[in-house]
Amino acid sequence: MILIADSGSTTTDWCLMDATQRLYFQTRGINPFMESPVDILQMIQSELLPHLHFPPANVFFYGAGCVHRGRDNVRDALVQAFPDVPVEIESDLLAAARALCGHQPGIACIVGTGSNSCYYDGLAIVDNVSPLGYVLGDEGSGAVIGRLFVGALLKNQFSDDLKSRFFAEYELTVPDIIERVYRQPYPNRFLASFMPFVHRHLHFDGVRALVMDEFGRFIRRNVMQYPQAASLPIHMTGSVAWHFATLMTEVLEQSRLRVGTICASPLERLVVYHQSRLI
């Protein structure tokens, strides 16, 4: 059996599979730039290995930040967790491209806690606009929309009713928010955690416009930089793309782009991709 992982900033989805059966697991996300191989190994040992009763024949790990030092950190952890097992580590963007496009060319996007995009020619990623992270980039992502929403809320840009609902639901104070954003680890996850609230309150004045504007920025600053975007389908995966699919579709259509597949997670389609290679 082979073990496939799709890892984002918030969660990691795993599938142990062969040509006839699949077993699914979920663990917390991995940030290879902020976690050492020891940290990653401890997570695998505590959250994943108890589900596995025998080692896989191969491990295919796709993850955010799996380039350069980040890739090395993940490899070191996986090699220790699965000695003598071949390990292949690729980016979460290649996972999205393989899952969404299969063996056809297309524009593949991730819009979740963070965001990313690429032009995929059916075999490999040919072009990629750097996402730059949630401070300089990551347009349209949960972290950035969460940051903009909370900032606007605290600057009194929304109604008092919405502000009261927010503080009642999360039981946070302004100092709490400042602490979490500027002094605690994983501020991107913290900011993205407000997306369910944003989704439920799209009907409040200004909220829908904020989300639509940010999706527009994602399209303009990323997708439309690929010349092929004018003729190829624009596929998307990730929690934000999925839960806000109606708004994202509207923005794509306003931009005269072809809407492709929008799914919550690439794992199921990624499993199909790898299963086709087993047959």
Q: Which domains does the chain have, with CATH numbers?
A: 2-95+267-278 (3.30.420.40)
Torsion of Cα atoms, 158 then 168 then 189 then 251, to 10°: -40
Tokens of residue 167, six digits = 């503080």
Can you tell me the distance from the alpha carbon of 16 to that of 51, in angstroms, rounded to the nearest whole number?
Answer: 10
Chunk the chain into consecutive blocks of 10 residues (it has 279) and report each block's average pLDDT, rounded to whole numbers: 86 87 89 86 93 89 83 92 92 93 95 95 95 92 97 97 96 95 92 97 97 98 97 96 97 96 91 75
**Please, are residues 64 and 7 in contact by the beta-carbon 8 Å criterion?**
yes
Spell out where the chain has E strands: 2-7, 11-17, 22-28, 58-63, 87-91, 106-111, 115-120, 125-127, 233-237, 258-263
* Amino acid 265: pLDDT: 87
**What are the angstrom distances between the C-alpha of 173 and each of 58, 158, 198, 242?**
47, 17, 18, 30
Strands (E), 112-251: 115-120, 125-127, 233-237
Rounded distance between C-alpha atoms, residue 16 and residue 52, angstroms = 9
Query: What are the tokens at 152?
Result: 């606007």
Q: What is the pLDDT of residue 277?
A: 66
